[in-house]
Amino acid sequence: MSIRHGLLALLERGPRYGARLRAELEARTGAVWVLNAGQVHTTLARLERDGLVAQEGRDTRGRPLYALTATGRAELHDWYTRPVERTSPSHDELSLKLAMAVGAPGVDVRAVVEAQRRHLREALREYTRQRCEALGEPPSHRDEVTRLLGLEQLVLHTEAELLWLDHCEARLQRLAAAVATEPPVATDPPRGTEPPATTEPPTAPL
């Protein structure tokens, strides 16, 4: 999710200060995206630098209020109409970990897969429990709808990752079986060592 565009979307509803933006973004995403104050304020500063938001006075407690500019509104609406790019591979830590674990000395890559699988199963149980609670009562507010959508995304993504891990494990098992049946590779003798010369036994005189 683009934090920039998430903040722009919230500001379309009216001026807001940083802490309120942070709380609303977490509420709208079902706490799937948890931000710290530094992330929000840094992003707001960049949006202001790019002319997408502008400070518009302060609230009763002296906190600066940020408002959407015309340029920011145009960027937001353009974002809604653009597809999310999937052409480049994501920088996923699990993919990197498995890639590095294959063939690494002293690392059992199957143990890495199993540890991740246990973690995902626990997470899936928790996401499913939260989704069941959310489905217990029909959502009556848009924040409840967005929370449900976020939970369903987590459930589906976790199920997909579990399937991918099963595929990885099967692939690794086939690789291990193939390596086990390969004949040993002949190696050249070290330099300076020559195989012993074969000598013919002396011929007896006639």
| 124 and 183 Cβ atoms separated by less than 8 Å | no
Give the chain's radius of gyration (CA, Å).
30
Tens-binned pLDDT, residue by residue, of the chain (206 aa): 478 998 998 899 899 999 999 988 887 776 566 778 888 999 999 999 999 999 999 999 999 999 999 999 999 999 888 877 765 555 677 887 888 887 778 888 888 999 999 999 999 999 999 888 888 876 667 777 888 888 898 899 999 999 999 998 898 888 777 766 656 655 566 566 555 555 555 555 44
State the Cα–Cα distance between residues 122 and 172, nearest whole angstrom: 24
- Sign of dihedral through CA atoms 120, 125, 130, 131? positive
CA distance 145 to 151: 10
- For the whole model, what pTM was predicted? 0.61
Spatial neighbors of 5 by CB under 8 A, at least 6 apart, are: 75, 76, 79
Q: Within 10 A of 142 (CB to CB), how many other CB atoms are there?
A: 9
Can you tell me whether residue 179 is helix, strand or coil? helix
